[in-house]
Chains A and B, each alone.
Chain A
């Protein structure tokens, strides 16, 4: 069959379509977004009524997927690594309820934080929840693992976590599809209608069941096609290498022959027998894993006595950041390679707000309004508008997690910082700003909230914003007073007027919401081009 050139994300989506998935649930987040977008753009998915619309956040996505699994159908839920924090409650509990139809959770980690606030390792969540984890080495394996993962999930009635990294998600290579597309499952209720009722007495039973199954998960890992023990003559060292890091290892051996035993890991829990074999055979073990030193820590144990284990914890590899072939070369004791040094004149080119971006006019008006007060009052959030932290705007003082602007402003106001301002995007507001707004309203907190409504989820590439056309209704419904919902158009020519409105609302000793509304110019551009194309 012909090879398709697919991103890791696209290979996963194609795998899910070919494996009979009935619905994908997600909130956008780099580097996971393209999985769902691939399904959204698929004619096959549309013809077969496969659900692919965006969810409001990762938690609603995870729960919807669990509902689809309950109903017996195959489902996938995708998110960036920090999204799994938001969805952690349903995720951990879904391991206790178990699945009915196959359920795969895809978490995309971002070592080196190319587009994220941290580089947390989702394998921790998998281990925490006691569910099996799949970690592909390349795009082909990502495709194949989806089939395997759905089958596994249905065989053991457990959700399966797939962990990828930015490099896997956004790297392209050839993928061969399976010749046959599996049909979707029929609607099929759980055989025990109390399986999903986590009352303590049921939950205790189900938890014991999960613990029992865990032994089977290890046996499965030992026989898994994704875990391979490749023997080598030199037993002075053994190498355990996880997911994509295997490629960096092979890159260092032109003939692909590593002299020492290698255990390639693509499925967790770790294949115990294979790890034992390596520990018995080799004098020491080098662990190469992208992300946190999870396998390394596990092997080393708390005291680090006994097995000699090298990796990120002892400095053989750096403690943080993405791996690459050079770092692995050095860890193997091979010579490093260099090109030319970067000339001194090369300066950084950080991302910036597009010229003409509505956020720019909002920030200029806000900064002028606040200029008469002491600095440090603006709690912001995550989106394009976070770039307002950089020069020349330097307009915001925080960016922590989706929704934190409103609640942090509230807490600071509770502490006496009045006025305090929250700046949040429309999509972030519906993701997790609404609940915090209700807290502020119930407490009548003296905060001013700016919901920057550019009509889209811009930072991640312009996906639909779930609250489109509903923002002020949501605010009204939650109880913001009509007089303190102010809509303005962020344009240079409206600057004075906008500053005047902001001044009025800052002076109000309760919750006010200002909605600067103007469409993202990239979204306008995209819309116009699509219109022309469809003519």
Chain B
């Protein structure tokens, strides 16, 4: 099994935590992993992306070739479109629909949604609202991880275990909130595939 994943968002939206959770779950299953992150200048409110590759076989490149990503997980709708050149023909775009508008020329959201709808396989949900309902407005990124979970090629429980591990120092309450955010995202994806 091999999954090439593009994680996208705006600096500060927590794409690295998603990567750490998937990465931990992959390593626990004896998989190989390469994950390329963006640090530095663009973290200051600019567009950020991370290449995450997991596989049962050794991985060569840190970068995913164009047209070969299995999915784009984006915490922001405009950002989900920026990396379409990476997506494979069968690939999924899994995106939050809540805009992060910090630029003067941010496009109209319904036009963005129209473009997302053109991608053959996509899942779009308001992860901010879903996170709030699940009990933690901060868990938007975990909702997105949940929405991507059916496509990751690993058992759902492995992702839950990884969340328990990554948030182990934050206490049981935070772990539970994140697990329900994960579940909410996963349920949405399963109902909207």
Contact = CB atoms under 8 A, between A and B. Distances in A.
Given A339-B86, A352-B102, A5 B112 contact: no
A248 B102 contact: no
Interface of B: 10-11, 23-24, 27, 32-47, 59-69, 78-79, 81-82, 84-88, 91, 102-107, 111-112, 115, 118-119
Contacts of B105: 347
A250 interface: yes
B44 A384 contact: yes
Interface in A314-361: 324-326, 329, 336-343, 345-354
Contacts of A174: 27, 32-33
A503 interface: no
Interface stretch (A71-79, A165-173, A425-433): A165-173
A349 B65 contact: no
A387 to B, nearest CB: 7
A129 interface: no
A43 interface: no
Contacts of B86: 339
Contact of B67 (A167, A339, A342): A339
Interface centre among A7, A340, A392 (most CB of B within 10 A): A340
Contact of B104 (A168, A250, A326, A392): A392
The list of the 3 closest CB pairs from A to B, nearest first, reads A30-B40, A115-B40, A351-B46
Interface of A: 3, 5, 7, 30-31, 33-34, 114-115, 167-168, 170-174, 244, 247-251, 256, 324-326, 329, 336-343, 345-354, 384, 387, 391-392, 459-461
Nearest to A115: B40
A349 B48 CA distance: 9
Given A250-B61, A325-B61, A387-B44, A338 B37 contact: no
B60, B78, B81, B112 pick with most chain A CB within 10 angstroms: B60
Given A248-B63, A349-B10, A349-B79, 19 more contacts: A7-B37, A114-B41, A171-B35, A172-B37, A173-B35, A174-B27, A174-B33, A250-B60, A251-B60, A336-B66, A341-B85, A347-B103, A347-B107, A351-B44, A351-B45, A352-B45, A392-B104, A459-B44, A461-B39
A244 B44 contact: no
18 contacts: A30-B41, A114-B38, A167-B36, A167-B62, A167-B63, A173-B32, A248-B63, A250-B61, A325-B65, A338-B66, A339-B68, A340-B84, A346-B81, A349-B103, A352-B102, A387-B44, A459-B40, A459-B41
B18 to A, nearest CB: 13
Contacts of A256: 60
A337 B46 contact: no
B166 to A, nearest CB: 12
Nearest to B103: A349
B84 A172 contact: no
Contacts of A387: 44
A339 B121 CA distance: 13
Given A256-B60, A336-B66, A352-B44, A345 B84 contact: no
B33 A247 contact: no
A343 B103 contact: no
A151 to B, nearest CB: 27
B40 A339 contact: no
A163 to B, nearest CB: 16
B93 to A, nearest CB: 9
B35 A340 contact: no
Most buried by A among B10, B44, B69: B44
A342 B33 contact: no
Contacts of B47: 348-349
Most buried by B among A341, A349, A354, A459: A349
Nearest to A2: B27
A345 B87 contact: no
Contact of B39 (A170, A343, A351): A170
A334 to B, nearest CB: 11
A351 B62 contact: no
Contacts of A354: 44-45
A30 B39 contact: yes
A170 B115 CA distance: 31
Given A346-B81, A347-B106, A384-B44, A247 B36 contact: no
Contact of B33 (A5, A167, A346, A351): A5
Contacts of B102: 349, 352
Contact of B40 (A31, A167, A172, A349): A31
Nearest to B6: A339
A38 to B, nearest CB: 13
Contact of A3 (B27, B44, B81): B27
Nearest to A340: B84
B63 A172 contact: no
A170 B103 contact: no
B36 A170 contact: yes
Contacts of B34: 171-173
Contacts of B40: 30-31, 114-115, 459-460
B46 A247 contact: no
Given A340-B119, A352-B102, A173 B66 contact: no
A7 B35 CA distance: 9
Nearest to A325: B65
A247 B36 CA distance: 13
Contacts of B63: 167, 248, 324-325
B39 A346 contact: no
Nearest to A114: B40
Contacts of B67: 337-339
Nearest to B32: A174
A257 to B, nearest CB: 12
Nearest to A137: B60
Contact of A343 (B33, B41, B115): B115
A249 B112 CA distance: 36
Given A384-B44, A391-B104, A339 B84 contact: yes
